[in-house]
């Protein structure tokens, strides 16, 4: 039953009146069915230890609303509320019957508008800081006298003119490499990264990343994670001059040096030409004084050396050495002949001893040889005596069987011209040349005639028996 229907029934039928608790319960049930999303500015916050919920109030120009949010929901949201923050709430209306007070029971909370952006930037800053990208130890020093300076900024803004004018005024010797890129909009981070890569590839010594002032939303490309990591990974030092003095972006935090403005960034990378000239003059004067002092000191040292007696009489440097050399030469001249004479006497004594020893050794060996010779002769005669008789018999038999002995008894040996012994007249032919060996020489003959004598077998046997 709706509130209007209840009122009408109460007026027409005169039903009993509700208690306060019942009326509050009726109102609470009606309110808790309404879930809304709203935006408001935080005007007060009560987050005391021990409380189960966080109590705060949001307002706008025409109204204010008390709110409560249980601690588990509040801690899960990641938002740290402060007075003045613009927040976006999702929840439902409810009544606290004991006090008769209406609250807005918050389910979720998020920063609205710029507040949400700042939360995102703060979370990214904490992430990069935890990775060490903002560590002062990793920041590189700036070159004292850069020859080439890279500038990454918008080509149409006032910042580029401020930077170029400052560089020309302070240090006209440097060569400027400009990369004009968009510095606002969704595509700005990618263009800024490409601009950094381009100027670094051109061989610059230092890079200026600058832009003029603007709102927090305008500076968001310099809070981009891609840009921050590109700045941190750049191989040369990067100086940022983004916005105005109060503005600080993540690119400023990871850069090697953060300047308050683009002009200040340009001034930080180059020396003032007039100051540089004065510094050079001071260095020249200091160098001249040091050189004069050094020359005077060296001249005094040379004069002291020249006054030393060694340079007035150089022979004094070697006098002791010469005397020692003469003394050693004299001692050596005496020592060598004496040593030779001593060695000669030793050699003569050794020669005499050696001759006596050799003579005794030869006499002993000669006696030993003669003794051995007599023993060999004696024993050899005894060994050969048994063979002498057999040798005589064998020699007599050889003498009897010798062809020469046969020839001495009147026989001869007939040979052909080839030297073969002719044993039968059948081997001879008339006119054949033969050689006849006798006991006292050899005769060459020619066969005139050959006669064959026939013997009977009985006659031969008889001669054999005889």
Segment of 103-107, 274-278, 311-315, 317-321 carrying the highest mean pLDDT: 103-107
d(CA 303, CA 319): 24
Looking at the fold, whether 263 and 297 belong to one and the same domain comes out as no
Q: Is residue 325 domain-resident?
A: no
Looking at the fold, whether 155 and 227 belong to one and the same domain comes out as yes
Contact 67, 103 (CB under 8 A): yes
Looking at the fold, whether 187 and 261 belong to one and the same domain comes out as yes
Task: Write out the H or E segment, with its range, that includes residue 74.
Answer: helix 71-77
pLDDT surpasses 80 at 6: no
Question: Can you tell me whether residue 235 is helix, strand or coil?
Answer: coil
> In this predicted model, what pLDDT tens digit does every residue of 371-394 receive, in sequence order?
888 888 777 777 777 677 777 778
The average pLDDT across 316-329 equals: 78
Looking at the fold, whether 197 and 291 belong to one and the same domain comes out as no
Contact 31, 21 (CB under 8 A): no
Looking at the fold, whether 248 and 283 belong to one and the same domain comes out as no
The average pLDDT across 236-261 equals: 86
Q: Single out the residue in 243, 271, 299 at which a domain terminates.
A: 271
Q: Is residue 436 domain-resident?
A: yes
Identify any residues that bridge with 397 across adjacent strands, giving them in sequence order: none
Residue 456: what pLDDT? 53
> In this predicted model, what pLDDT tens digit does every residue of 14-34 receive, in sequence order?
678 888 888 878 887 777 778
pLDDT more than 70, % of the chain: 90
Q: Is residue 210 domain-resident?
A: yes
Q: Is residue 402 domain-resident?
A: no
Q: Single out the residue in 65, 92, 112 at which a domain terminates.
A: 112
What distances in angstroms separate CA 232 from CA 256, 288, 420, one per listed residue? 8, 43, 126
The average pLDDT across 433-439 equals: 83
Residue 205: what pLDDT? 94
Looking at the fold, whether 65 and 78 belong to one and the same domain comes out as yes
The average pLDDT across 277-306 equals: 85
Q: Is residue 137 domain-resident?
A: no
Q: Please give the span between the terminal C-alpha atoms of the chain, in angstroms, as a whole number.
A: 192
Looking at the fold, whether 85 and 170 belong to one and the same domain comes out as no
Q: Is residue 443 domain-resident?
A: yes
The 8-class DSSP code of residue 422 comes to: P
pLDDT surpasses 80 at 432: yes
- Tally of domains in the chain: 4
**Which of 107-121, 200-214, 344-358 shows the lowest mean pLDDT across its residues?**
107-121
Looking at the fold, whether 67 and 177 belong to one and the same domain comes out as no
The average pLDDT across 261-282 equals: 83
d(CA 209, CA 237): 11
d(CA 208, CA 270): 11
Residue 8 pLDDT level (bands cut at 50, 70, 90): low
Residue 459: what pLDDT? 44
d(CA 457, CA 460): 5
Looking at the fold, whether 161 and 262 belong to one and the same domain comes out as yes
The average pLDDT across 193-216 equals: 90
pLDDT surpasses 70 at 80: yes
Identify any residues that bridge with 444 across adjacent strands, giving them in sequence order: 435
pLDDT surpasses 80 at 346: yes
To the nearest whole number, what is the mean pLDDT of the chain? 82
311 or 8: whose pLDDT is higher? Answer: 311
Residue 464 pLDDT level (bands cut at 50, 70, 90): very low
pLDDT surpasses 80 at 191: yes
Domain with 13 in it: what CATH number?
A: 2.40.50.140
198 or 420: whose pLDDT is higher? Answer: 198
Q: Is residue 46 domain-resident?
A: yes
d(CA 100, CA 25): 10
The average pLDDT across 302-311 equals: 73
> In this predicted model, what pLDDT tens digit does every residue of 192-203 receive, in sequence order?
999 999 999 999
117 or 155: whose pLDDT is higher? Answer: 155
> In this predicted model, what pLDDT tens digit does every residue of 120-165 receive, in sequence order?
777 888 888 888 888 988 889 999 889 999 999 999 888 899 999 9
Q: Single out the residue in 209, 242, 271 at which a domain terminates.
A: 271
**Which range marks the domain in which residue 287 is found?**
274-309
Looking at the fold, whether 278 and 267 belong to one and the same domain comes out as no
Residue 114: what pLDDT? 56
Looking at the fold, whether 146 and 101 belong to one and the same domain comes out as no
Q: Is residue 388 domain-resident?
A: no
401 or 91: whose pLDDT is higher? Answer: 91
Looking at the fold, whether 303 and 239 belong to one and the same domain comes out as no
pTM of the model: 0.43
pLDDT surpasses 80 at 410: no
Q: Which residue carries 């800081």 as its tokens?
A: 129
**Which of 56-65, 166-175, 336-345 shows the lowest mean pLDDT across its residues?**
336-345
Task: Write out the H or E segment, with its range, that includes residue 319.
Answer: helix 319-401
pLDDT surpasses 70 at 352: yes
Residue 198: what pLDDT? 94
d(CA 255, CA 140): 9
CA atoms within 13 A on the CB side of 161: 3
Domain with 254 in it: what CATH number?
A: 3.40.50.2300
């Amino acid at each position: 039953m709706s509130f209007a229907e209840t009122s009408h029934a109460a007026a027409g039928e005169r039903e009993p009146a509700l208690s306060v608790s019942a009326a509050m319960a009726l109102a609470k049930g009606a309110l808790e069915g309404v879930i809304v999303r709203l935006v408001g500015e935080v005007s007060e916050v009560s987050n005391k230890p021990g409380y189960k919920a966080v109590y705060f109030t949001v307002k706008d120009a025409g109204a204010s609303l008390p709110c409560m949010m249980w601690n588990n929901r509040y801690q899960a949201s990641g938002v740290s509320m402060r007075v003045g923050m613009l927040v976006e709430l999702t929840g439902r209306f409810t009544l606290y019957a004991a006090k008769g007070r209406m609250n807005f029971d918050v389910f979720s909370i998020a920063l609205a508008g710029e507040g949400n952006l700042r939360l995102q930037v703060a979370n990214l800053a904490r992430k990069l800081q935890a990775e060490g990208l903002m560590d002062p130890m990793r920041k590189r020093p700036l070159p004292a006298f850069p020859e080439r300076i890279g500038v990454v900024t918008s080509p149409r803004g006032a910042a580029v003119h401020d930077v170029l004018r400052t560089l020309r005024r302070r240090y006209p010797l440097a060569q400027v490499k400009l990369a004009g890129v968009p510095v606002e909009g969704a595509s700005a981070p990618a263009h800024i990264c490409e601009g950094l890569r381009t100027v670094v590839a051109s061989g610059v010594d230092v890079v200026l990343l600058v832009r003029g002032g603007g709102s927090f939303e305008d500076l968001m490309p310099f809070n981009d994670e891609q840009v921050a990591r590109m700045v941190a990974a750049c191989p040369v030092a990067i100086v940022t001059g983004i916005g105005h003095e109060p503005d600080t972006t993540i690119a400023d935090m990871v850069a090697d040096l953060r300047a308050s403005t683009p002009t200040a960034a340009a001034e930080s990378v180059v020396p003032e030409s007039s100051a540089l000239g004065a510094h050079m003059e001071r260095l020249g004067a200091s160098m001249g004084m040091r050189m004069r002092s050094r020359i005077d000191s060296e001249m005094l040292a040379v004069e002291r050396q020249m006054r030393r007696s060694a340079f007035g009489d150089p022979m004094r440097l070697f006098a002791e050495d010469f005397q020692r050399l003469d003394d050693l030469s004299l001692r050596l001249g005496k020592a060598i002949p004496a040593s030779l004479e001593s060695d000669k006497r030793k050699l003569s004594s050794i020669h005499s001893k050696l001759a006596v020893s050799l003579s005794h050794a030869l006499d002993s060996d000669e006696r030993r040889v003669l003794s051995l010779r007599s023993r060999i002769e004696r024993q050899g005669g005894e060994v050969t005596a048994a063979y002498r008789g057999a040798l005589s018999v064998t020699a007599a038999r050889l003498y009897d069987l010798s062809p020469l002995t046969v020839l001495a008894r009147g026989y001869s040996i007939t040979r052909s011209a080839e030297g073969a012994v002719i044993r039968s007249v059948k081997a001879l032919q008339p006119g054949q040349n033969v050689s006849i060996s006798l006991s006292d020489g050899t005769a060459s003959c020619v066969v005139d005639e050959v006669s064959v004598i026939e013997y009977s077998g009985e006659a031969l046997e008889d001669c054999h028996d005889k």
